[in-house]
Amino acid sequence: MRVCFFVTCLADQFFAEAAADAVRLLRALGVGVSFPRAQTCCGQPAFNAGHWDEARKMAAHTQDVFEGCEYVVLPSGSCTTMLRAYSPRLFEGDRPRYEAALDLAGRSYELAEFLVKVVNAKDLGRGLEGVRLAYHHGCHVSRELGVKEEPVRLLEATGAEVVPWEADQECCGFGGVFSVKNAPVSLAMADRKLDTLPEVDYLTSADGACLMHMAGRARTRGLDVNVRHIASLLWEARNG
């Protein structure tokens, strides 16, 4: 089995080690990984901002870059959602591109989802025995992709305790352009998440955008919150 790894902008710029950990984990599980160097942004920022012509160009480029890949794996729920749910809408008047968008959507997976549904990974190692985690269900991951149980199941299989959190399924307030246009509301939503965060060793998620937002807000407030991408935690568990 081989996959093409779509690193995404945020992972490349803010969670580079987590992206590398995702590749290490896949290879350790016997999955061949290639990295198409022509890949760029998936187009979601432009799409959300209403600049659909620009988003369409990036989405078409992404189709071309990942054409022929058996699977496309992303360490980001939001970018996976762009490929699976939003990108086809950009090409509803262009039959060839629309079909290409649907084809790419059917081959694209968020990392944890891929590990459970395709690789059938059940035992990644018990390297997180005794570690207390709070898991944030990012909106795109849980609501758009329907990936809710898979990340938690993988984390619990490492020996970690996923601690109950009353706000675990609430939006963190980022939402890309939303956090810029509605900053006061965005920050209040992040504060709600942080104010209800239980005492844990790490706050984790399958979406780096959410982690970036909450980590930034925690630093601004002087809060001691350790943020780790799920890819890094799973690789740590596997690597002992």
76-87 pLDDT, tens digit each: 999 999 999 999
Angstrom distances, CA of residue 185 to CA of 22, 173, 175, 216:
33, 7, 11, 15
pLDDT of residue 180 exceeding 90, the answer is no
Contacts of 43 (CB under 8 A, 6+ apart): 54, 55, 56, 57, 58, 59, 62, 82, 87, 90
Left (φ > 0), alpha (ψ -120 to 50) or beta: where does 114 sit? alpha
Would you say residue 234 has pLDDT above 80?
A: yes
Cα-based distances in Å from 6 to 35, 73, 78, 185? 7, 6, 12, 31
Q: Is 7 helix (H, G, I), strand (E, B) or coil?
A: coil
Q: How confident is the model at residue 143 (pLDDT cuts 50, 70, 90)?
A: confident
Report the alpha-carbon distance of residue 85 to residue 145 in Å, rounded.
8
Angle between helices 183-195 and 208-221 (to 10 degrees): 80
pLDDT at 187 over 90: yes
Query: Above 80 in pLDDT, residue 209?
Result: yes
pLDDT of residue 124: 92
Q: Mean pLDDT of all residues in the chain? A: 96
Burial 59-84 (b: 16+ CB within 10 A, else e): bbbbbebbeebebbbbbbbbbbbbbb
Looking at residue 69, its pLDDT comes to 97
Distance in angstroms (rounded) separating the CA atoms of residues 152 and 173: 22
Average pLDDT over residues 118-144: 93
pLDDT above 90 covers what percent of the chain?
A: 93
In this prediction, residues 109-135 reach a mean pLDDT of 95
Amino acid 144: pLDDT: 87
pLDDT of residue 239: 86
* Per-residue model confidence (pLDDT) at position 218: 97
Strand ranges inside the chain, DSSP E: 2-5, 32-34, 72-74, 108-110, 132-136, 161-162, 202-205, 227-229
pLDDT above 80 (res 240)? no
Query: How much is the pLDDT for 152?
Result: 96
6-64 pLDDT, tens digit per residue, is: 999 999 999 999 999 999 999 999 999 999 999 999 999 999 999 999 999 999 999 99
Looking at 60-187, which runs of residues are DSSP E strands? 72-74, 108-110, 132-136, 161-162
DSSP code of 132?
E
pLDDT mean over 136-157 = 93
